Structure 1
Amino acid sequence: MRKIIPDTANKLFEEVENVITPLARVVKLGIATDEERSRLEIWAICSVMVNGVDTPPD
């Protein structure tokens, strides 16, 4: 995978998690719309991809 600096990867991961958290909450409570469930799935994929980005060693 493309190498990026750790700070950027961490920032992206935090931003993705900030979107996922409220979506996951409404899905867990069973009150999510179809759109919210779809958005959660897409953002979860983004989270996995960002988390898998190689960063250079310290």
Structure 2
Amino acid sequence: MKMSNKMLILSSQEYKKSQGNINIIITDEIKSKSKQIEESRTQKATEVNLTKY
């Protein structure tokens, strides 16, 4: 079974689109984890400062 050039181009475009979606998901996951880490650090710093006084 032969694929036409049009189908190959479409498949390539769909692949690139799905790769882009995966990259966006990964980026969003990293941003979310970074925010959680920053919030955790801020909370710990606040707790340390409160126990000093």
TM range (shorter): 0.3 to 0.5
TM-score (normalizing by structure 2): 0.45
- Structure with greater contact order relative to length (CA < 8 Å, sep ≥ 6): 1
TM-score (normalizing by structure 1): 0.41
- Identify the structure with the greater helix proportion: 2
Structure with greater Cα Rg = 2
